[in-house]
Amino acid sequence: MKQKRYDVIGIGIGPFNLGLAALLDPVDEIDALFFDKDPYFEWHPGMLIQGTDLQVPFIADLVTFADPTSPYTFLNYAHTHNRLYSFFFFNRFDIPRQEYNEYAKWVSKQLTSCQFGKRVVDVKDHQGDDAYYEVSVMNVKTEEMATFYAKHLVLGTGSVPLVPEKLEEALNEDLLHTSSYLNRKEDVKRGNVITVVGSGQSAAEVFHDLLKEQDRCGYQLNWLTRSPHFQQLEESKIAQEVFSPDYVNYFHSLSFDERMNTLESLRPLRNGVEKATLQQIYDLLYHRSVTTTDLSVTIQASTEVKSVQSVKDGTYSVSCYQHQTDQTFEMETNKLILATGYKPYVPKWLDNMRDEIVWEDEKRFKVTRDYRIAFKKERNNHLFTLTNLEHSHGAGATNLGLSVQRNQHIINKITGKGVYPIPQNTTFQQFTPNTK
């Protein structure tokens, strides 16, 4: 090939690939390029609710676990923006979610390898003695096409909103996913009845945000979940060690069936609501109950939303099923907010390689410990993935605290040397028996 060939091209620029770009920046022997369809970096903009915090300590930034001396650490961001003393007196490990977004945007603007407003529309896999990937990229603004070539790819396409199939067709300006909550909040508040569906952190944050403004706006506020109760996140220190490199090693060594069973047992560690958020909700309700018995609030677990039907302009009938009492009932709402989570976004062009890839089931490709998609025939031009990893690497697949460790593995594999040494023995507990 006479065309320029990059060592690695990253597809998607969320926190994971952005961290990879930041760690690759000082590695002179690696020529990297990253593309994202959005015009600039933005991290879950629909849920950057004021007053909400990151669920991991600030040390889980884009680079610190691999290189605390990097210019792209959060502490350097705070220093550069004259916020270090404020942060010192803030005296907390968790930082505002909005500040994490500002920090990541600051990093993205410094990295020339990150190109925004560029959509990857296709990837061709060229095998043979001189194997490489051909990446077709469209300029979103001009619709001009360009072709790039790379030895390795990193799939960092993240996730998209997960909406139950039976509710997907009902989505409109009144029925929305939490991913677009802030963009449509003012319209949501015009409803006489607002219903939040889900039991995780996002559901609780949206419910709390709306609860704070309920007195002023005067709406009825409902919170429903099909879970048997509103579960608090397991935040004990020993339990949190499942978000460690050592646990990832252990989890990855299990059989596929055992991994899937284990994921179910880890739900309290990843799908609950932070204690502080639940306390804020309860305290606000308690204070209001001092002066009124009519809070205009319904909070109900074990209740699944089965369907939604429009009964008149701006009013919807929600068909619900209470599992434990085996009761079906209807309730009306004007606005419905689905906090039903996210699912990995796997681009369609990967189907062109489907027959060459090793699959663990119909939707989950096999992934090596160092984050390579496994192919039936071993190859030297690797397709790494930071997406669709839960089944292979455990509950920490989307955890920011482990994102740097993932990128360390990828960089070391690409360079063929330990540019960033992988940490070992990071926990106080053991996950496998000591047979020595």
How many alpha carbons lie under 13 Å from residue 334 in its C-beta half-sphere? Answer: 13
Q: What is the pLDDT of residue 434?
A: 77
Euclidean distance between CA atoms 41 and 22, whole angstroms: 14
How many alpha carbons lie under 13 Å from residue 8 in its C-beta half-sphere? Answer: 30
| Assigned domain for 120 exists | yes
Residue 1 has pLDDT above 70, yes or no: no
Both structure tokens of 98: 């909005």
Q: Helix, strand, coil: what percent of the chain each, to 5? A: 35, 25, 40
Residues 64 and 181 both lie in one domain: no
| Assigned domain for 258 exists | no
Residues 138 and 153 both lie in one domain: yes
Q: What is the pLDDT of residues 64-89, one digit of tens each?
A: 999 999 999 999 999 999 999 999 99
- Contact in structure between 275 and 296 (CB atoms under 8 Å): no
User: End of a domain among 312, 338, 364?
Assistant: 338
Residue 314 sits in a domain whose CATH number is: 3.50.50.60
Measured CA to CA in angstroms, residue 377 lies from 135, 187, 245, 253 at distances of 21, 53, 28, 21
> Which of 206-220, 242-256, 261-275 shows the lowest mean pLDDT across its residues?
261-275
Residue 271's pLDDT band (cuts 50, 70, 90): confident
Helix (H, G, I), strand (E, B) or coil at 366: coil
| Assigned domain for 319 exists | yes
Residue 338 has pLDDT above 90, yes or no: yes
Q: What is the pLDDT of residue 268?
A: 81
Specify whether the backbone of 82 is left (phi greater than 0), alpha (psi in -120 to 50) or beta. Answer: left
Residues 115 and 152 both lie in one domain: yes
Both structure tokens of 78: 């705070």
* Mean predicted confidence (pLDDT) in 44-65: 95
Residue 331's pLDDT band (cuts 50, 70, 90): very high
- Contact in structure between 18 and 107 (CB atoms under 8 Å): yes
Domain count, the chain: 2
| Assigned domain for 207 exists | yes
Percent with pLDDT over 70 in the chain: 99
Both structure tokens of 194: 């607002």
Euclidean distance between CA atoms 183 and 52, whole angstroms: 16
* Mean predicted confidence (pLDDT) in 88-102: 96
Identify the domain containing residue 170 by its residue range: 161-233+271-338
Indicate the burial class of 82 (C-beta count within 10 angstroms; 0-12, 13-18, 19 or more).
exposed
How confident is the prediction for the chain on average, in pLDDT? 95
* Mean predicted confidence (pLDDT) in 56-68: 97
Euclidean distance between CA atoms 194 and 210, whole angstroms: 9
Containing 7, the helix (H) or strand (E) segment is strand 5-11
Containing 263, the helix (H) or strand (E) segment is helix 256-265
Both structure tokens of 43: 């991290």
Euclidean distance between CA atoms 209 and 205, whole angstroms: 6
* Mean predicted confidence (pLDDT) in 279-307: 96
Euclidean distance between CA atoms 22 and 332, whole angstroms: 49
* Mean predicted confidence (pLDDT) in 234-239: 91
Nearest Cα to Cα of residue 154 among 7, 3, 357: 7
Residues 332 and 364 both lie in one domain: no
Q: What is the pLDDT of residue 170?
A: 87
Query: Which runs of E-coded beta strand occur in 271-326?
Result: 297-300, 303-312, 315-322
Euclidean distance between CA atoms 371 and 389, whole angstroms: 8
Percent with pLDDT over 90 in the chain: 90
**224 phi and psi, to 5 degrees?**
-120, 145
Indicate the burial class of 31 (C-beta count within 10 angstroms; 0-12, 13-18, 19 or more).
middle
Residues 183 and 130 both lie in one domain: no
| Assigned domain for 142 exists | yes
